[in-house]
Amino acid sequence: MHQAARLEFERVMEEFARWRIVPADERSPAPAWWWGPAMAVFDDQEPMSRTWCSELGLGDGTSFAEGARNILALFVEQTSLTGPQDFPSKAEGDHDVRELHPQPSDDSAFQP
């Protein structure tokens, strides 16, 4: 497995663990940013760690491919996307939205 794919899937598994401890009725939908790392290991038959297998409810020695399928299965019936501000639990009330104002450009580097 490519090292970058492993690191990205490791990040997903850390986030998945945080997400799962939130009660189901307060938990945000699965975040779309898990999709890519799961697809990157979708065909990898290398066994995952016991911790990850346990976290996903799979038996010891289950492959990354099967772990990826479990992550992707979260999206099957999902009808909304999660924003980073709503992860790992649903937002309560309105978030303070930061308004972005146009910034003056510095064109001094481009002399006519």
CA dihedral 25, 31, 34, 39 (to 10 degrees): 100
Specify the pLDDT at position 94.
44
pLDDT by residue for the chain (112 residues), tens digit each?
678 888 999 999 999 999 999 998 899 999 989 999 999 999 999 999 999 999 999 999 999 999 999 999 999 888 887 888 888 887 654 444 445 556 566 555 555 5
Specify the pLDDT at position 104.
61
Specify the pLDDT at position 95.
44
Bridge partners for 63 per DSSP: 47
CA angle 17, 87, 72 (to 5 degrees): 60
Q: Rounded to whole angstroms, how far apart are CA atoms 17 and 31? A: 13
Specify the pLDDT at position 90.
74
